[in-house]
Chain A
Amino acid sequence: MESFFTRFKNVLVLVAILLAQTIGLAVQVRRPVESGAPDSSKVTLIRYWAVSVVTPFERFFHGIGYTFRHGWSNYVDLRHTRQENHDLQEQIARLRLEQASFAEDAMQGHRLQAMLDFQQHYVSTTVAAQVIGTSGNDLSRVVYIDKGAKDGLKADQAVITPDGIVGKIRDVFPHTSQVLLINDQTSGAGVLLATTRIRAILRGSTTGQILINNLTPDDRIKPGEQVLSSGGDQVYPRGLPVGTIESIKVDPDHQPYTLIQLRPAANLNQLEEVLVITGTQTTLPAAAQKDLAAGAATAEAQATAKQLADQQAAEAAARSAAQIVADRLPSIHEGDDDTTKTGASATPAAKTPPVSVVPKPLPTLHSDRYSPGATPPAVNLRPGAPEAANPVVPQTPTPDATTQPATPKPAQPRPRKSQPPPDSAQPPTQSPNPQP
């Protein structure tokens, strides 16, 4: 018996170790498999030991690299701070205008949601953290961040960047947390296609791609469509960017389903700083409400300014038209010349723009029945009477109050024929076709 153990010592050790690890695996893996579920307390203890050994070194090297890299870049960046500040100010102004255009829709949507009693979750509190390490294994896509339970982090909290979702916290240690990225093979998230509003489930893969494989072929789904978080998984708040559809093809393993590959919105390979969502609320946060109100005020101010500008433009157009007509009329120029000549009579009233000036037609040189003032009044006309019975009596045009020129009246040339001389105080009525 002793010789048996001596002879097969190596193999027996191997078998014993493999057996022990197999039992360990069987204890850890639960059925049904919960994707990304945190470990049991015993496994967490083993991970805690390993993380405790490794993370101090990771923090040390990360700190050195960060200090060196950012110390130099901070110095270099100072040269462009003024320009960047200017650019950012412009960007803020532009974003304010964009925000204003969205504010009205947002407020309307908010009111409608309130009416329909939707339970919307808004991000209220976040904790910023830095990525200090990875798992070092491309079959397990996790990263370690420098914030843990002491900073208020808990398992299953969503981790995001301003670009989009990153993953969720899987395990929390006192000063460190393990973040399961959305492209890990055990990851999953509820998503919504932005244009078609189709709900789907997103999964990671062994190759690090993000896939949707629970949808049947649909012609409405096109590459380039944006994918948002649906909020149905109770981890990621609704409406956060997840990625865009990169390709759509038939899933060879699960027909007739399609295999939709996404390009993640956040750069999962180059994560430096992330935000952990530590709290959500059903109402819009105070800061967001303030921004929304500011956006609405900006929109209102924009609308008022636009209305005023339109009004001014209309006035200017009218003024311009009157000016053009006035410029074409010799009477105005004569009046102006007269005013220039008199000099002393150039009162402030005479300098007013010719907005209220109605141009006067020149006296008719060859008067006929169509000449202004040639038509007799209706009371003098008899229906059916010959033309001779209705004498054409030149009428003295009645001046209208609005047709009184503001400028001194120019001297009228005298007619050559039987046309009565027009009264200088009572100019003739406006002719539709004034003769120059």
Chain B
Amino acid sequence: MATRSFTSRRELEQHSFPSAVALLVPLGAILLQALLPRPFPRLAILDLPLIVTIFFAVSRRNPVAGTLTGAAIGLLQDALTAQPIGVNGMAKSVIGYIAASIGIQVDVENLTTRILINFGFFLINSFLLFLINRRLLGLTNFHIYWGHEFIRAAINTFVAIPIFFLLDNTKRNE
């Protein structure tokens, strides 16, 4: 008689990635982000590190891993800027945690879900950056233009979808 075991979505669809992918993809995203705006200044609106953070968090479905991935990518991104180190680190830690938590609950393989979570997380990221800069760092002249942030979220979502499909090929089912 066959035994049936009930497993959660997390246990069924928890993915892992080869070490090289887990290391090189975030690094490549940060590198591209630093290189592309020089010849194409308008591409500074992209946030490839955030796309990668969301992808790894929802794919691994592990909040701790998502938090750590977000923190590492954010801190590395901060180190290349003139901002204090930790601004992007904190924002992406929170994004990684929430994305991994959502990945446990919903089917993140679906295209519509991916569009929604990407759009939503980019807006959350903008809000977190506003809070950190305005409240924690006390930058009173830091303003956020929500119209611009919506456009940024839409463009990044548009870019994120093919990247997600591309990175799906690197998944290793356990």
Contact = CB atoms under 8 A, between A and B. Distances in A.
Interface stretch (A99-107, A132-140, A240-248, A372-380): A132-140
A269 B41 CA distance: 6
Q: Which of A29, A137, A205 has the most chain B CB atoms closer than 10 A to its own CB?
A: A137
A62 B36 CA distance: 11
B64 A134 contact: no
Contacts of B129: 139
B97 A14 contact: yes
A22 B136 contact: yes
A54 B82 contact: no
A49 interface: yes
A18 B64 contact: no
A46 interface: yes
Given A14-B63, A133-B35, A49 B97 contact: no
Contacts of A22: 86, 90, 136
Contacts, number: 147
Contact of B64 (A9, A43, A131): A9
Interface in B121-150: 129, 132-133, 136-139, 141-145, 148
A136 B139 contact: no
A134 B46 CA distance: 13
B80 A50 contact: yes
A282 interface: no
Interface string A3-38: 000000110011001100110110011000100100
B140 to A, nearest CB: 9
A355 B134 CA distance: 89
B84 A14 contact: no
Nearest to B27: A53
A43 B80 CA distance: 12
Interface string B73-99: 001110111111111111001100100
B155 interface: no
B151 to A, nearest CB: 12
Contacts of B79: 46-47, 49-51
Contacts of B90: 18, 21-22, 25
B86 A21 contact: yes
A271 B137 CA distance: 30
Nearest to A138: B44
B45 A65 contact: no
A113 to B, nearest CB: 36
B21 interface: no
A114 to B, nearest CB: 40
A207 B145 contact: yes
B34 A14 contact: no
Interface of A: 9-10, 13-14, 17-18, 21-22, 24-25, 28-29, 33, 36, 43, 46-47, 49-51, 53-54, 57-58, 61-62, 65, 131-144, 170, 178, 180, 184-186, 203, 205-207, 253, 269-271
16 contacts: A10-B63, A13-B67, A13-B68, A17-B67, A17-B68, A17-B93, A21-B71, A22-B86, A36-B82, A49-B79, A131-B38, A136-B80, A137-B77, A142-B81, A186-B82, A271-B38
Complex A-B, nearest 3 residue pairs according to Cβ-Cβ distance, in ascending order: A50-B79, A136-B33, A140-B81
Interface of B: 27, 30-31, 33-39, 41, 44-45, 49, 63-64, 67-68, 71, 75-77, 79-90, 93-94, 97, 101, 129, 132-133, 136-139, 141-145, 148
